[in-house]
Amino acid sequence: MSAAAEMVAEVTYRDACRMALRDALVRDTRVFLMGEDVGHYGGCYAVSKGLLEEFGPERIRDTPLSESGFTGIGIGAAMNGMRPIVEIMTVNFALLALDQIVNNAATIRHMSGGQFGVPLVIRMATGAGRQLAAQHSHSLEGWFAHVPGLKVLAPATIEDARGMLWTAIEDPDPVLIFEHVMLYNSGGPLAAGAGAVPIDKAAIRRAGQNVSLITYGGSLPKALKAAEELAGQGIEAEVVDLRTLRPLDDETICASVAKTRRAVIVDEGWCSGSLAAEISARIMEKVFWSLDAPVARVCSAEVPIPYPEHLEQAALPQVPAIVAAAKGVVG
């Protein structure tokens, strides 16, 4: 490895996302970014700050407040040879573009018999924790992971925030990237030579023998902290970062559960009809005879996310609940 590749710098998750955007814009003149306030304002979460000045309004495009409209424009641009990156401010606003995403972007390759693809990337913030109340605190990535024709990513680390975007841009089909709002200010080391990463594999973030903690996105730091607490009590938890929610990496999930013989799924979505429910079902179908305890789930409370901070935190999966669930399945 070269000396340059060995060098590391401390960056935030937000910085890593910006670096990924800039890299994509430099590498390929077909790439452009469009969305609400991505230009002059620099993005709702300051991810695109400075890009308008560097690349100009042709490639950093502020749009009207019409998610259906500019998502549709992104689909059309992608079908005509461009590589658009559409930013939807938060996941709740993606509901206004559901027709474009689900009925158009996800289906065109199938409905055209493979004649047309939609190489479109859609980025959006997801999750709760910033007191944005019930209408702006959704974790709906599991809804989109239900839809064939889409790839759904949830980068939880600095490396993935930096590296997943370029791989997504090269994909011939639509890719949705969910960035958890509570990760933007988090920081960590990033190698100078860090580049593209795969978007079809889960990752073991901590090895363990007694229970598998399966999670993604903003819940990964909580799962890692819970694993530390469990280690102090003699329970070695293996932490699986899903990274990609569609397609799920069944091989990595099931290999971990077969080894530890117990599973706890941590999902900020609501429990009913959740991504956690799908993962639990796949574990039952594929490695049922390896289990020594029922699969446990730690999800958000079945309520609209409250505005008051203490109630918001109470509604979300937290470290004590993860620890308790793991101790419950270990017995």
Where are the domains positioned within the chain?
8-191, 203-330
> pLDDT at position 8, please?
76
pLDDT of res. 1: 40
Chain-centre distance of CA 2, in angstroms?
31
142: tokens are 């599991």
DSSP-derived letter for residue 154 is -
Q: In what order do the strands lie in the sheet with 263-270?
A: 203-206, 237-241, 211-215, 263-270, 296-300
- Please tell me the distance from the alpha carbon of residue 210 to that of residue 262, in angstroms, as a whole number: 7
What pLDDT does 192 receive? 85
What pTM did the predictor assign?
0.95
Any bridge partners for residue 151, and if so which? 175
Catalytic residue, candidates 87, 136, 141, 238: 136
Residue 223 · residue 215 · CB < 8 Å: yes
Give the pLDDT of residue 285. Answer: 97
Does 203-330 match 8-191 at the fold level?
Answer: yes
Is 159 catalytic? The answer is: no
Residues in contact with 292: Cβ distance below 8 Å, sequence separation at least 6, in sequence order: 261, 262
CATH class of the domain at 8-191 = alpha beta
Residue at 259: amino acid letter? K
**Is the CB of residue 209 less than 8 Å from the CB of residue 236?**
yes
- Other Cβ atoms closer than 10 A to 7: 12
Q: Which sign does the torsion angle of CA 266, 98, 93, 171 carry?
A: positive
Q: How far apart are alpha carbons 295 and 326 in whole angstroms?
A: 10
pLDDT values of the chain reduced to their tens digit, one per residue, 331 residues: 444 445 678 999 999 999 999 999 999 999 999 999 999 999 999 999 999 999 999 999 999 999 999 999 999 999 999 999 999 999 999 999 999 999 999 999 999 999 999 999 999 999 999 999 999 999 999 999 999 999 999 999 999 999 999 999 999 999 999 999 999 999 999 988 888 999 999 999 999 999 999 999 999 999 999 999 999 999 999 999 999 999 999 999 999 999 999 999 999 999 999 999 999 999 999 999 999 999 999 999 999 999 999 999 999 999 999 999 999 999 8
Tell me which fold the domain 203-330 belongs to: Rossmann fold (3.40.50)
- Token code pair at residue 85: 């990156």
229 is catalytic: no
What's the rounded Cα separation, in Å, for the pair 184 and 191?
A: 18
pLDDT of amino acid 4: 46
- With a CB cutoff of 8 Å and minimum separation 6, the contacts of 153 are 164, 168, 175, 176, 177, 178, 199, 243, 244, 245
Catalytic residue among 67, 159, 179, 238: 67
The predicted pLDDT at position 6 comes to 58
